[in-house]
Amino acid sequence: MAAKSTSEKVAIAIRALKIQGARRIAKAAVEALAAAAKKSKAASADELYSDLLVAADNLAAARETEPMLRNYLDDLLSVVRSRREGGVAALKALLAKKQDDILADMESSVARIAYHGAEALTDGSAVLIHCHSTTLMSILKLAHRRGKKLKVYCTETRPRFQGRMSAEELAAAGLDVTLIVDSAAGGMISARKVDFVLFGADAITSRGELLNKVGTYQIALAAKRHGAKVYSAAELHKYDPDTEGGREEMIEERDVRELADSLPMMGRWKKCGVKLKNPAFDKTPPELIDAFITEEGLVGPEKISEAARGRISG
C-alpha cells in the first residue's frame, strides 16, 4: 500500500479528533496543503492545481462543519487559481509565501481579538465559558495580564470534557477558575453569579447565528433571560458565505461511544434498548448574542455578514 501523504495524515487526524478546535484544524490543514504543494511532482501549473484541489477537498471533508478550514484553504488555492499560466517553481514559491501570510494573519487576528475581548470585560466581573477555544483563552489571559480580576467558571463540556482543559490552562496562567458540570450553568446564571458568558465559534451564518459546541444554546438562553452579556470570540474567517443563499449549517453527529463512556456501558444501553444520540454542536440564534468579538472589534450579529465579506474571498 502506498505511504500516506501529509495531507492524508492530517485529514485522518482531524476526522479522528486528534486535532480539535476551529483554529487548530484550519492551521493544520493550511500547513498540510502547503506541504502537498512543496512535495508535488506536477509538471505544469494545471497539474499542480488539480493535485492541490484533491488534497484540499479531502482536508475540507474531514470536518464539513468548519468554514474557517474551507475559507483558509480557499485563500491558499486562490494563488494558483489566479496564475495558472505561471511556471511550477514560481507557483510553489508563491504558495509558500501565501502560507506564511495566512499563518501570520491568523496570529495577528487572534491578538486583535484578545485585545478587543479583554477591553470588553470589566474588572471584578464573573465570566462563564463553555468548551475549549484557543481564541477565548487568549482573551482571558490578556485580561488577566492587564490586571483585570476575573472569576472564571468553566463548564466541563460533556462528552469530551474540553472545558476541563480550559480550566487547567487558565489556572496555570494564574486566573481564578472554578469548574462546574454543564447542567449547573443555568442555575449559576439565574443566581446572578455571572456577568459575561463567553463562547468560541465554529461557524457563523449570514443570519448571524452561532454554531458552537453543544450546550452553547441553552447557556445563551439562560444568559439572555437573566441579563448576562453573551459574546462569541470569532475570527471573521469562521463566517460561512455558503449560508447566504439560505442554506442551513449542518450539525455534526459524533460517535455515540463518547456518550457511553465505556464498552460495558455501551453493551448495557444496547441490552436494555436505550438509543444514544451525540450531536457535537448546536445553533444559537442572533437574538441571544450581544456581539461577536472579532479582529475588527465587537460586531453585532446583524452586521457580521458585512464585516466578514471584507475579510474573506469565498
Q: Which residues bind ligand RUB (CB under 6 A)?
A: 20-23, 131, 133-135, 162, 200-202, 212-213, 280
CB-nearer residue toward ligand RUB: 76 or 293: 293
Q: How far is the CB of 247 from ligand RUB (least distance, A)?
A: 20
Instruction: Annotate 231-244 with b (16+ C-beta within 10 A) or e (fewer).
Output: bbbbbbbbbbbebe
- Rounded to whole angstroms, the Cα distance separating 97 from 146 reads 34
Q: Which residue is nearest to ligand RUB (CB)?
A: 200
CB-nearer residue toward ligand RUB: 130 or 144: 130
- Rounded to whole angstroms, the Cα distance separating 6 from 197 reads 38
Q: Residue 19: left if φ>0, alpha if ψ -120 to 50, beta else—which one?
A: beta
CB-nearer residue toward ligand RUB: 27 or 92: 27
Annotation marks residue 202 as catalytic: yes
Q: How far is the CB of 288 from ligand RUB (least distance, A)?
A: 16
Annotation marks residue 131 as catalytic: yes
The one-letter amino acid at 261: D
Cα separation values, 180 from 1, 129, 184, 193, 217, Å: 48, 10, 6, 13, 17
Q: How far is the CB of 89 from ligand RUB (least distance, A)?
A: 34
Q: How far is the CB of 166 from ligand RUB (least distance, A)?
A: 9
Q: Among the options 74, 75, 131, 240, which is catalytic?
A: 131
CB-nearer residue toward ligand RUB: 52 or 121: 121
Q: Among the options 74, 75, 195, 202, which is catalytic?
A: 202
- 25 backbone dihedrals φ, ψ, rounded to 5°: -65, -50
- Rounded to whole angstroms, the Cα distance separating 278 from 284 reads 18
CB-nearer residue toward ligand RUB: 35 or 136: 136
CB-nearer residue toward ligand RUB: 106 or 228: 106
Q: How far is the CB of 208 from ligand RUB (least distance, A)?
A: 17
Q: How far is the CB of 66 from ligand RUB (least distance, A)?
A: 8
- The residues assigned a catalytic role are 131, 202
